[in-house]
Amino acid sequence: MKGFTLIETVLVLLILALMMSLVAPRVLSFQRSGSLRNAAEEVVDILRLSQSRSYSSFRSSVWSVSFESDQFILFKGTDFEERTEDYDHIYKLPGSVEFGETTLPNGIVSFEKLDGKTDSTGFIELKEADGGNVKSVCVTEYIIKLCDNVD
């Protein structure tokens, strides 16, 4: 007699299922934390792009970033309501990430022409939608970076 019995096959399948149930949550957690970090880094990159465009007076204007519930928008000018939407660049957050607390005035960061300075200093939190990990982006007069989580 060659081959495996039904009991041996079922036993191996049960062991594999048990192993998968132990590994799957860790894989999902790793994936969510990667999405959070990527989203936070994208916020930093877009803020720096806005600063760079203002510094170089790209299109003879200052540039700003507005933060909304599930997206952030790079726009030309300082007044979000009076902007020309033709110049907007909209960035959506992944479904597993959302904005948390912020200390940015009106949820907008604007940069001055020629020196790239901002008066919109503070931080904005990004968090996992299930309430897990949090990443903070800090904005000072000239520096934009990921920072330790702010309490």
pLDDT of residue 3: 81
Q: Please give the Cα distance from 15 to 27 (Å, whole number).
A: 19
pTM: 0.80
- List of residues 6+ apart from 37 with CB closer than 8 A: 135
CATH 3.55.40.10 correct for 7-147: yes
Place of tokens 């920072």: 147
Regions in the chain scoring below 70 on pLDDT: 1, 29-33, 149-151
- Domain coordinates in residue numbering, the chain: 7-147
Place of tokens 């979000």: 80
